[in-house]
Amino acid sequence: MIDARSEIRRIVEAARADGWVLEPDAKRIFTLAGFDVPRFTLAGTALEAIRFAGEIGYPVVAKVVSPRILHKSDVGGVAVGIADAGGLEAAFLRFQGLDGFLGMLVEEMVSGVELILGAKTDFQFGPMILLGMGGTGVEIYKDVALRMAPLSEKDALAMIEGLKAHRLLTGYRGAERVDLKLLTATLLAFASLVSELGGGIESIDINPLVCSSRRCIVADARIILQKENGPGSA
């Protein structure tokens, strides 16, 4: 764990120049911290992408990796449900034309309820944890619960129960229910990771965190770093 911790620190420090941690690196951080992350690779060529997809099996998700693209969906940098090598190659060619292209992330498709798990360092209150209904509509529905870290188990449960869409997690109208114990544990583990990372973080989005009856998966993650000597580092 000490090794994992120093490796996490190393990844964060290496990202300082960009101001944020790119998705593959953010996913490495969450993997090191013990979170469930989809199997993925960062492919530099279409061939690499196709080879990896062959290993894990289709369908797969492909996403652009670029230090200049913070919101991938906004620029058409995400392709889901890719069913074959042809589709993967087409995605690669398209992403190549995007600003600052560094490679393409290929990962397994996961399914479940899309949540957002986030953190921010607040000037007045320090580290804050956010849980909400996730996906691309997150800022439209604004169905979120916010708490100051650290979190107790009671806080975590209250956050889950405080969501308007809470019933969507408990098997609404015959849908698969989310493992709430696993979600609570994920929330608590996230809050402790945030405390461990400390004031160097401006904000973190895990969006979506895909939860089902079996898993709670960090399907996408972005860590934005604080500018040196920023507020809240006190």
Partner 1 sequence: MDLKPLFEPRTMAVFGVSASNYRHPANEIFNKNLLRYPIGVYGVNPRGGTINGQPIHRNISEVPEEIDMAVIAVRADVVPEVITECIEAKVRSAVIVSGGFAEVGRGDLQERIVAIAKEAGFPFVGPNCLGIYVPSHVDTFFLPGERMVTPVVGNVSFVSQSGGILVDQMIKFANEGVGLAKAISIGNKALLGELDLLDYFAADPATKVIAFYIEGFGGNEGRQFVLRGGKCGKPVVVLKSGKTEAGSKAVSSHTASLAGDYASFSAVLSQYHIVEAVNELELISFCESLSAYAKPIEGRVGIVTVSGGHGAIAVDTCASRGLSVPGLPENIREDLCKNLGPNVRDIATLTNPVDLTGSGVDEDFVATMRSFCSMENIDCVLALLLPYIPGITSDLGAKLGGIARQCGKPLIAYVPNVEKYAMLIEGFTLNGSPVAHSIEGAVLMVDALRRRRP
Residues 10, 205: Cα–Cα separation, whole Å: 20
204 counts as binding partner 1 under rule CB under 8 A: yes
Which range, of 2-10, 46-54, 76-84, 136-144, touches partner 1 by CB under 8 A? Answer: 136-144
CB of residue 19 to partner 1, shortest distance in Å: 9
CB 15 within 8 A of CB 25: yes
Both tokens of residue 12?
């964060």
Look at the block and give the residue holding tokens 């670029």.
Answer: 66
Residues 79-118 that bind partner 1 (CB under 8 A): 116, 118
221 counts as binding partner 1 under rule CB under 8 A: no
Which range, of 39-47, 77-85, 121-129, 178-186, touches partner 1 by CB under 8 A? Answer: 121-129
72 counts as binding partner 1 under rule CB under 8 A: no
CB of residue 20 to partner 1, shortest distance in Å: 8
Strand locations in the chain, DSSP E? 20-21, 40-43, 60-65, 78-82, 103-108, 113-122, 126-133, 144-148, 201-211, 216-218, 221-225
- State how far Cα 191 lies from the chain centre: 14
**CA-closest candidate to residue 32, choices 9, 58, 57, 56:** 9
CB of residue 91 to partner 1, shortest distance in Å: 24
Interface residues with partner 1 (CB under 8 A) are 20, 70, 116, 118-120, 122-126, 128, 130, 132, 138-139, 142, 144-148, 155, 202-205, 207, 222, 224, 231-232, 234
